[in-house]
Amino acid sequence: MEQIGLKTSMLDVLSARPDLRCAMRLRYHLLGGLLLCVLFPALLRNGFNLPPMLYPADVKMTVGALSALLGGYYLHRRLVGFPGVSASSYILPAFTTSFAAVIVVFFFFRLEYSRQDFLLSYSLALVWAYAHTAIGRRAQTLRLAVVPGGAAKTLEQIRGVSWDWLKEPEAGWHRWDGIVVDLRADHGADWTRFIARAALAGVPVYHFKRIRESLTGRVEIEHLSENTFGSLNPNRLYFRLKHAADFVVALLVFLPALPLAALIALAIRLDTPGPVFFVQPRLGHRGRVIRVVKFRTMRHEEAQAISLEERREHARTLPHDRRITPVGKWLRRTRLDELPQIINILRGEMSWIGPRPEALPLSAHYDDEIAFYSYRHIVRPGITGWAQVNQGHVTTVDSVRDKLGLDLYYIAYFSNWLDVLIALRTLRTIVTGFGAR
């Protein structure tokens, strides 16, 4: 999001709110967690003796529980800073990861600890986090004032925010979490004075496009400007580190995945005649053509195309597509048809997470229909991505335009935290089959 030129996330907006109740502030949240999840188990271990007896084992347990609690809060806050993320949905993975990490450290260094006490701290941390989130859900609803004029009126389609549609300049800054304005429009002297005074009073002023971007998880570009490429260039250091991590993870997963791949291959051969693998040229990083490997999920004789138009149509997978085999339907729902793309990752052609590579006929078609479409190729394509976990499979040009906005959001907010969130949502997709075709 942009606050007079600075790109931030929804987490920064919530953190900057001037009117949050004291009990909902992070300091009180942490204090409650410290008392309930760290101090209470420590007192329980010592029979509620005050002060507690500081045996070395007790000190280690207390430090471990405190570290796990702080780690859980940190992970949770990083994950819920992105659009469309329910705070309660990521409490369990965040705190489970932090407490598991502390246990691994204790085990690795052979430190003495009590499983029962750690389980108690972990359970209390979850209870406190869920309770705090439930109580604070209403308090965390954004209330934003909108200055009339320009294209700011397009925000009325976005739900989940309390919009105050201003008709004339008025004071009362404490009522709002921020003021939204189309900074490219001409608002006149009175509105300009109002915006300046609001900023001086400490009320954040946001450009409407950045608010829309942070609420919807999409970056929309109507035309190129001097800031377009600067805001969309991915972090080069993280780009290199991510590439190295992709290779290492693919190398570690390759051998354990072979037995599962063999069973899938056998099921495909028994299901319908034809090859086990489906190899298709697709557009990859920087517009290079790559050969993407998948398990075949369609009937081989019906997946062929003759003309360019037929190839374009056959490249699309429609709902209830008759070409999909029974085994292929299950593979698509669980995303296991993408398993052979580990080979593409080891080749350096793909990543675990990134925009999905499109078939060449579709890429050419979308590039003709949608301006700026080719910019999605500035990062390596992925097996899963931000568009896949938010939108699922799409076929029409309009839905592809929305998908491009999601891909550009991923590029703009390219980070390890967004990748972690996508990985968690992908696990949900594998279980629920959301977006499968």
Per-residue pLDDT tens digits for 369-392: 887 888 899 999 999 999 988 876
How much is the mean pLDDT over the chain?
82
pTM for the full model?
0.80
**For the residues 295-307, what does the mean pLDDT come to?**
67
Q: What is the pLDDT of residue 338?
A: 93
**For the residues 167-183, what does the mean pLDDT come to?**
84
Greater pLDDT, 357 or 436: 357
Q: Look at the alpha carbons of 33, 38, 41, 47 in this order and tell me if their dihedral is positive or negative.
A: negative
Q: What is the pLDDT of residue 228?
A: 56
Checking if the pLDDT of 335 tops 80, the result is yes
Is residue 348 within 8 Å of 369, Cβ to Cβ?
no
Q: What is the pLDDT of residue 306?
A: 37
**For the residues 137-149, what does the mean pLDDT come to?**
77
Q: Report residue 25's pLDDT band, with 50, 70 and 90 as the boundaries.
A: low
Q: What is the pLDDT of residue 30?
A: 83
Q: Report residue 231's pLDDT band, with 50, 70 and 90 as the boundaries.
A: low
Q: Among 31-35, 108-112, 233-237, 346-350, which range has the highest average pLDDT? A: 346-350
CA distance 306 to 433: 31
Is residue 68 within 8 Å of 101, Cβ to Cβ?
yes
**For the residues 17-35, what does the mean pLDDT come to?**
65
User: What is the 3 state secondary structure string of 150-185?
Assistant: CCHHHHHHCCCCEEEECCCCCCCHHHCCEEEECCCC
CA distance 249 to 261: 17
Checking if the pLDDT of 115 tops 80, the result is yes
Q: What is the pLDDT of residue 21?
A: 44
